[in-house]
Amino acid sequence: MNEHPPRNLALDLVRVTEAAALAAGRWMGLGELDKANEEAGFAMWQALNSLDMDGRIVVGEEGRLGIHSNLDSGQPVGSGHGPAMDVLVDPIDGRDLLARGHPDVISVAAVAPRGSVWAPASAIYMDKLIVNREVADALVPECLEAPAAWTLALIARAKGKSVRDLVVFVLSRPRHEDLIREIRTAGARTMLRTDGEVIGALMAASPRGSVDVMMGIGGVSEAILAACATKALAGGMLARLTPQSAAELEAVQASGLDLRRVLTCDEIITSNDIFFAATGITNGSLLAGVHYHGQEAETQSLVVRAESRTRRFIRSEYWFAE
């Protein structure tokens, strides 16, 4: 029988995202995407290995980014002692934003009991829709198929708003040109970002957040991280595999995965023992970024535990002795 994860694992996980954020923050605005990701990933891997758990990376980013690291799918992390856990990480959510010195870049990590996280190994991209707890019960699978105007009207009714009051987070990518046009034609406002799917999901899933809904296609690893955060925050999510190339389509079909199946948070993560942590790298609407003061540094983090429905903001100060 799998050992029950301790409550303090949530706070331990914050040390992991803090380590990655402290490493990544030094690369803000320097235009070095790969070097920043390498250093942040190594810092995160080291911190993960200090945790008392038998961890395994469920879905890495190697398929989408084409970069291999110690955080690839299937890699063991943790001390090897303690509860067996599925682990999901993103050392830098918003790599392009960090390279340009833009806001809302974060480091994220989530853990759940072994075998509770859905892991479509051959898939790279998913279509997803994320809302907070006000709207969660109103979502229906048709929301992913319907015109954006129909879905936005449903969300607006659930929130007691007009469509023109809604803010929709969408990645600014060529594949979303039609979606963005539909959203604007419906009268809703858009928050477009070149990167940063997990922070978009957090903003959409958070109570009283600055975003009403996240829509569009992004990475599978980011989608599963988003599902962890959304479920922990009692939000709602719909997602479906959406291959973006002939090679990915062939691999997904060969794996027997159902391209028509619309998944919810509870199907992506079957356990309620979810721990999610995020630390700001650059200043943003949800978290402050890393601030350096000579031998000192400050971070702000968010940690969420699904079972207790608690959301904590943590401010940490570091002193680096010579």
Angle at CA of residue 175, ends 246 and 194, nearest 5°: 120
Domain at 125-268: CATH code: 3.40.190.90
3-state secondary structure the chain: CCCCCCCCHHHHHHHHHHHHHHHHHCCCCCCCHHHHHHHHHHHHHHHHCCCCCEEEECCCCHHHHCCCCCCCCCCEECCCCCCEEEEEEEEEECHHHHHHCCCCCEEEEEEEECCCECCCCCCCEEEEEEECCCCHHHCCHHHHCCCHHHHHHHHHHHHCCCHHHCEEEEECCHHHHHHHHHHHHHCCEEEEECCCHHHHHHHHHCCCCCCCEEEEEEEHHHHHHHHHHHHHCCCEEEEEECCCCHHHHHHHHHCCCCCCCCEEHHHHECCCCCEEEEEECCCCCCCCCCEEECCEEEEEEEEEECCCCEEEEEEEEEECCC
Q: Please, is 247 exposed, middle or buried when counting C-beta atoms within 10 Å of its C-beta (0-12, 13-18, 19+)?
A: exposed
Contact status, residue 299 vs residue 279, Cβ threshold 8 Å: yes
Domain-wise residue ranges, the chain: 9-117+273-319, 125-268
The third-level CATH classification (topology) of the domain covering 9-117+273-319 is: Fructose-1,6-Bisphosphatase; Chain A, domain 1 (3.30.540)
The model's pTM is 0.93
Query: For 293-318, b where at least 16 C-beta lie within 10 A, e where not — what string?
Result: eeeebebbbbbbbbeeeeeeeeeeee
Encode the chain (322 residues) as per-residue pLDDT tens digits. 456 777 778 889 999 999 999 999 999 999 999 999 999 999 999 999 999 999 999 987 765 666 778 888 899 999 999 999 999 999 999 999 999 999 999 999 999 999 999 988 789 999 999 999 999 999 999 999 999 999 999 999 999 999 999 999 999 999 999 999 999 999 999 999 999 999 999 999 999 888 999 999 999 999 999 999 999 999 999 999 999 999 999 999 999 999 999 999 999 999 999 999 999 999 999 999 999 998 999 999 999 999 888 899 999 999 987 6
